[in-house]
Amino acid sequence: MLQVFAWLSLGTAFICAAIVAVHEIRYPQKMMVMNLVWPLTALYLSVFGLLAYFRFGVPMRRSGGHHEGEPQPDGGRMAMGQNAEVSLIDAAISATHCGAGCVLGDIVSEFAVFASGAVILGSMLWASFVWDFVAAWCLGIAFQYFTIVPMRRLSPNEGLKAAVKADTLSIIAFQVGMYGWMLLVHFRLFPQSHLRPDEAVYWLMMQVAMVCGFITSIPMNWWLLKIGWKESMS
């Protein structure tokens, strides 16, 4: 029964991601990196990611100014600093950036660790934790780089520094939520069977882990927006 539910959940998520991708082909986001962020978000938030895209992503494409990646005359939230008003929606949309990088990195590294048979301290779990973080950090920074540079008109060197500053704590917060669920799965829910990446139930558990990571990254993104280290998309 769990296997059937896993396939249904994963299939629904893939359909949602495909709908977003097809819509973006016809109506691309002005900020190019968001054309990757929204489908990747739908891969783990599934129907909720699809609804979020049409509720917030499509208006971002249609509207002018900050949504489209144009630099703001006042320098955005970096200039406004701690006086800026930050909503939960601001933080959630901001979290999709690090979330997308984390999700893509986690998918790639999980298969790589499994295929290579890599272990740390005798366990594939710890190896996946290490390589998940490395891949998630690299891709998350890349996603943030292509968000921040067009907004602030930074040089490549300045853009990289700003991206690292903006997204490192956010990525850590995302991975904390993810790892917490993965530890629960490994030691409590499936302590004997130890699910593998070639099983649908494994990816169902990873889907839940990514949702947990998204939730734990929202408060951090709220704070980063509040202090002006990240740019608001709304």
For the residues of the chain, what is the DSSP string, one character each? -HHHHHHHHHHHHHHHHHHHHHHHHHS--SSTTHHHHHHHHHHHHHHHHHHHIIIIIHHHHHS-GGGGTPPPTT-THHHHGGGS---HHHHHHHHHHHHHHHHHHHHHHHHHHHHHT--BTTBHHHHHHHHHHHHHHHHHHHHHHHHHHHHHT--HHHHHHHHHHHHHHHHHHHHHHHHHHHHHIIIIISTTT---TTSHHHHHHHHHHHHHHHHHHHHHHHHHHHTTSS----
- How would residue 81 be classed by pLDDT, with cut points 50, 70 and 90? very low
Within a domain: residue 234?
Answer: no
How many structural domains does the chain have?
1
- Is 106 a domain residue? yes
pLDDT in tens, 83-134: 358 889 999 998 998 899 889 998 999 999 989 988 898 888 899 999 999 9
On whether residue 49 sits in a domain, the answer given is yes
Whether 140 is in a domain gets the answer yes
Residue 232 inside a domain? The answer is no
Give the model's confidence band at 79: pLDDT under 50 very low, under 70 low, under 90 confident, else very high: very low
As a whole-number percent, the residues of the chain with pLDDT over 70 amount to 89
The predicted pLDDT at position 145 comes to: 86
In a domain, 198, yes or no: yes
Which pLDDT does position 66 carry in this prediction? 46
User: pLDDT at position 62, please?
Assistant: 67
| Residue 67 structural domain | 2-226
Whether 233 is covered by a domain: the verdict is: no
pLDDT band at 9 (very low <50, low <70, confident <90, very high): very high
Residue 231 belongs to a domain:
no
